[in-house]
Structure 1
């Protein structure tokens, strides 16, 4: 594929997979182009706001001074660069540049050596200093051009939008809750062309804005910034791909991680079974028949011991701390009547590390100097929100929390804290400072952070913060729609950025009795979980925390043990399940998700379907399972439990997958590669009693020799693990662990030793 770029604000360039030389220069300010397949996307010169007025080349306010070109390299690789210098009517410099990389990546940069004053343009969704500026084609010119724009909170879950530029432009997400734009087109069976754009640096300060009247997409400094400080800069990345939207998004995320040398902390809260009390859980603002939360949670603890359910983490939601004006945080300490003896005592008694929730800070928070506290805050009385301004606050908060067992900090209501704290819009660097201070303090204390209700800008920022390891990918459980589990798209974005997607709390049983007090549910007394198996499976297949929230005695041990081993270690896929490319074109494939596990040199595919009304016949490429199906393989169904489908395919064959009809009815199919030993072809199906039969947490090595297939399996004392192989028919090998460690199952001898 040749990527044709005619951009300049001064020059034209043509690049392919190999870096080439600039072909020609154009006069400054002319209209330039970017070609995506047969679609031409035009670009315009930059603009800035200064002293409250829009400064553009057309008005003579923004004057072109010079162009410089060269080459270089950074963490993204080698590039060609053109740099354009402008001056405003106030004689301040504005520098924009464009870097072209050899792998179809472009980076646009704005720099302000002396800063700018009076940049606020009055719209929090707008852009006060724009570069790049993309003109979208008309409906007549590009009727098949489609877009994907996550919007709203929970990584864009709540306002997720997919459609055509021609018919659905009103649904295009931009402004403060946007931030990722994917454009793509495919005519019939022809080549797919796609591109992804987002902030590369300073995402908390960057907006994307769509001028619908003129079909112009502007990227740059957020619209209410009062000024731009000297030496401030931001960058926007554009990455293209010609064969897969999934791969495009994964590559785009990898670019951000490469550029920032992202390295996430280990998050044990996403590796062991937890118990959750957040919105949707039985004990959310409800202690049932108990007088207080200590007694209620001790009943959960005692039940898990009696039932041999290996819960290893406890989440405490917003019910435990003091609220101030409009229910913001006044003081993040336990209320004695709610938690007699304190969280520390509960932690010491149960041995459960604590996952603790926090929300926005109230304007009357005890921590703020304005209210007699010790720490500098910005206080927004008009919205009753406050925000810490110094890392010393987070140091003190986390130091105290460590004494009562905190291991994971949930920063919830990120959307409200951002949207309703005026200083986060008027001060261009405060958003970065806020999130960086929080994460740096947590990292220093070995505390993980889970983002909740995050905008795209928050998760983009997380690539710079090792402590941020998880992000909620769904709205609250029990939101009334029953669709909360549908996280195949937001999980894709999270995966791309190296974040673990979290599905949220769920019920492992259908009912938790009529006294469940969900005040936000008009039909709370009648609620029945349609499919607890679906909830548990999605939580596990997401690769994130698995956190049931049933009433103690309603925890379904059999359902939950399909997620973990005897000690509560979650058995998860290597790559969590995400939608396939066809999702972006047709509702027929809306809930077809795939993922995989990798063990040694073998890849095992996973296919999830819900309410799919027709048989599927798709290629490995279409299933995003090319690696799992690069040799002959077997496809077999393991849910519903009585499923009997099993079929051998040759490499290159299209894959037949039976339909799976019915709302909340789901099916799980798994692929296993052929393994030849001693003239026999074996297929390792794994531990069929689990949602992920072959997980790297359980299966740690597969050795194929001329005489045998040896599978090394990890287990704990007293655990029996049954592994299934297929030859001409299925056979089981049982591994019983007299002590914790590993055993080896032999396909040839059909024994485990």
Structure 2
């Protein structure tokens, strides 16, 4: 049964109307309000406020005074039909409206701020907000709640918080803030996030209050400006709530994900040179970077590794200024590529993913320095303010093979470059100009070091197909801890990128003086994330078997249907720390083929074994399944039943190992009951990339396989009732890129 929210205005509705709704927004005619879940107040209002003329006007001290009676209306918008209430306040002589909309067929509330009059003198520092509605009391709830705060760079990874919703906790906000997720142990979930004007939106934790509003660095607000915050309710756990919230956000902003699935750098394997890679600011002895890249090409060609693109990082272009430096001209320095970028592209014939920093005040593109384009100067740095600049940059770079533009240091630009952090509209304008030019030039964008506000802004920018969701490889031991940030990115239609990895443990002479203890785990997580898979080995030190386990013969990645994320029970345990959930990380995902679901469970960092129930997996379809083990798992045994009554025991999944398991529904083929094991030599044996359709009848089980002409694909299956009886079918892909397997005929055609 679907439940939908109810907006309660105390003078209009009565309690008895609301008994069946688990999500209620209670609003009184004095402008107090609460958000109730299953009859309990999860969020209770704090003070409404707005800053104007360097002074805070607040309901707390009655300097923000309500004017007149609340106005109720009905209407329809991109979400659906709604009921609304709006309060009018006076901040000195200026009118400020605060309102709430709830929807008749969606468990959503939209809190609105409307600036009827222009205001100035609003700035109060980037850690604060200049307006607050909604504002809630932190930790004051009638239920036992946990929370996840997506906060910081790499899509909320760097300062991510998971803890109990209690008054003694710390909640980081400001410019690094993003969606806040609240949940209980019964799979009820609230998500609070900006709903519009993402680059200018923040929340702030001050004292006992959390307030959503306009970021604190904004100097003035224009007449008629509307700021909105969404409160979204889900009752099927954290993962489903996030995905449903993301679907709604994509619907509202008409985000198209087709570019993500057409992006070669996401669909095919590539070679990376960014931080953590062997050749990051590091070359082969006696070679320049051009010669090093050609040595890499020679090696992967001889080794028959079908890389489909190369990534150039921040080492190829000139920089200036303090710290990490800012880009002067986005072109290769002569000492890096002596014959130029176009010459190298002509030799490799591979598309390029190219990195860029923030712009220097000395950039040669700026009119201030003799260039052709409008830039705004901000200390040692600058920011382009010119659509024509991005068109020129991208169209010129396509001549040397640019395929993906990687915009790094989004955090520094968003927080430190004055027009972005102080202007209500400029941050969006900057990203939209970049995105529109990329779309016009047919180039995908990768966001790196993105704040949650940058990620949300990409809802309006379909060219953003991929986004980093953790810190650079090799910099921290927990760099693979992406199960929450991957959920965020995937939910809003962006492929989460874990960063590069080494396919062999030993990479002799590496600048980090490190080894990779778990190459197979790094490879598996990269693949299952559904983002780019970038190998970054030294020439001569790649594990060809491991790399080939990720791909088809042509380099196409054998991915699942959605990004691997942490199960709800682990996220709850991370917040509550009450030992009711797993004491280790459990990622799950699945491949959906013709309506049949094949689950994936990957676990690591366990100190204590954990019996995983099928209902906890996130892919339970209510049908019998059996589970098998990957050859890359810490232990391998016979396929076996998997259910709540027969849980999957996750054992030995330590910080130095990996458990990797796959499920299959049971098919009836004639008198046999059959499970599919798929391509057992592959990291993901059953991928919708390889198997495009399955037709199951009482007489036959038929599969359509995809691949390169003449590629040999081996599919395994077993008798569900006599598990030692298994079959292997070798299928040769035809000239049209397909093969058709019939189990009844035991043949391919």
TM-score computed with the length of structure 1 as normaliser = 0.92
CA distance in 2, matches of 1:407, 1:656: 43
Deviation of 1:151 after TM superposition, in Å, equals 1.4
Matched, 1:539 2:526: yes
Match status 1:239 vs 2:232: yes
Contact 1:9/1:45 (CA < 8 Å) preserved in 2?
no
Q: Does 1:223 align with 2:224?
A: no
Whole-angstrom CA distance in 1 between matches of 2:353 and 2:21: 49
1:406 shift after superposition: 0.9
**Partner Cα distance (1:374, 1:23) in 2:** 53
Q: Does 1:405 pair with 2:408?
A: no
Secondary structure in 2 aligned to 1:724? strand
- Seen in structure 2, the aligned counterparts of structure 1 residues 681 and 88 have a Cα distance that, compared at 3 Å, is same
Alpha-carbon distance between aligned partners in 2 of 1:23 and 1:231, rounded to the nearest angstrom: 26
Match of 2:577 in 1: none
Aligned residue for 1:328? 326
Judging changes above 3 Å, is the alpha-carbon distance between structure 1 residues 333 and 4 closer, same or farther for their aligned structure 2 residues? closer
- Is the contact between residue 147 and residue 164 of structure 2 (CA under 8 Å) also seen in structure 1? yes
1:460 and 2:461 are equivalent in the alignment: no
Q: How does 1:343-742 map to 2 (within 5 A)?
A: 343-381=341-379, 384-479=380-475, 481-514=476-509, 516-517=510-511, 524-525=512-513, 527-586=514-573, 588-627=582-621, 630-640=622-632, 643-649=635-641, 653-727=645-719, 728=722, 729-737=725-733, 739=735, 741-742=737-738
State the aligned residue count. 728
The CA distance in 1 between the partners of 2:600 and 2:276, in whole Å, is 28
Deviations 1:448-473 (A, max 9, x none): 00110011111111111100010001
What's the counterpart of residue 98 of structure 2? Answer: 96
Q: 1:551 Cα shift? A: 1.1
Contact 2:489–2:495 (CA<8 Å) still a contact in 1? yes
What SS does structure 2 have at the residue aligned with 1:175? coil
Matches of residues 172-251 of structure 1 in structure 2 within 5 Å? Answer: 172-186=171-185, 191-211=186-206, 213=207, 215-251=208-244
**Cα distance between partner residues in 2 of 1:625 and 1:70:** 41
Contact 1:611-1:660 within 8 A present in 2 as well = no
- Whole-Å separation in 1 of the counterparts to 2:247 and 2:11: 30
Alpha-carbon offset, residue 749 of structure 1: 3.0
1:608 to 1:275, Cα distance in 2 relative to 1, 3 A = same
| Contact preservation (8 Å) 1:314, 1:352 | yes
Secondary structure of the corresponding residue to residue 65 of structure 1: coil
Partner residue in 2 for 1:155:
155
Distance 1:684 1:555 in 2: 30
3-state SS of 1:332 partner = coil
The change in CA–CA distance for 1:20 and 1:74 in structure 2 (over 3 A counts) is: farther
Partner Cα separation in structure 2 for residue 408 and residue 300 of structure 1: 20
Aligned equivalents of 2:278, 2:168: Cα separation in 1: 40
Structure 2 equivalent of residue 117 of structure 1? 120
Does the CA-based 8 Å contact 2:7-2:27 persist in structure 1? no
What is the CA distance between 1:62 and its match in structure 2? 3.7
Ranges in structure 1 where 5+ consecutive residues have no aligned partner: 518-523
Q: State how far apart, in whole Å, the 1-side matches of 2:701 and 2:134 are.
A: 55
Query: What is the CA distance between 1:258 and its match in structure 2?
Result: 1.3
Over residues 374-426 of structure 1, what are the superposed CA-to-partner deviations in whole Å (9 max), with x where a residue is unaligned?
Answer: 22222111xx2211112121111111111111111100011111121122121
What is the RMSD of the two structures over their aligned residues, measured on CA atoms? 2.4
Where 1:409 maps in the other structure, the secondary structure is: strand
Alignment-derived partner of residue 145 in structure 1: 145
Would the aligned equivalents of 2:6 and 2:23 in 1 still touch at CA under 8 Å?
no
Provide closer, same or farther for how the CA distance between residues 252 and 566 of structure 1 changes in structure 2, counting only shifts above 3 A. same
CA displacement, residues 496-551 of structure 1 (integer Å, 9 cap, x when unaligned): 1111000111111111212x22xxxxxx33x1111111111111111111111111
- Match of residue 135 from structure 1: 137
Alignment check: 8 A CA contact 2:135 2:209 kept: yes
Moved more, 702-711 or 633-642: 633-642
Query: How has the CA–CA distance of structure 1 residues 12 and 501 changed in structure 2, closer, same or farther, with 3 Å as cutoff?
Result: farther
SS at match of 1:347: helix
Describe the SS at the equivalent of 1:127. Answer: coil
1:292 matched residue in structure 2: 288
C-alpha deviation, 1:272, in angstroms: 0.6
Q: CA deviation at 1:7?
A: 6.9
Aligned CA distance change for structure 1 residues 315 and 22 (closer, same or farther; 3 Å): closer
Q: Distance in 1 between matches of 2:191 and 2:19?
A: 17
Query: Conserved in 1, the CA contact under 8 Å of 2:25 and 2:33?
Result: no
Given that 2:29 and 2:70 are in contact with CA atoms closer than 8 Å, whether structure 1 keeps it comes out as: no
Query: How has the CA–CA distance of structure 1 residues 9 and 267 changed in structure 2, closer, same or farther, with 3 Å as cutoff?
Result: farther
In structure 1, the residue corresponding to 2:130 is in which secondary structure? strand
Equivalent residue number for residue 32 of structure 1? 33
CA distance in 2, matches of 1:317, 1:436: 23
Who is 1:520 aligned against?
none
Is 1:100–1:107's contact at 8 Å kept on the other side of the alignment?
Answer: yes
Cα distance in 2 for residues equivalent to 1:579 and 1:589: 12
Q: Displacement of 1:681 after TM fit?
A: 1.1
> 2: distance between equivalents of 1:251 and 1:568?
32
Deviates more, 1:438-447 or 1:728-737: 728-737
Q: Distance in 2 between matches of 1:742 and 1:23?
A: 54
* CA distance in 2: counterparts of 1:255 and 1:96, whole angstroms: 23
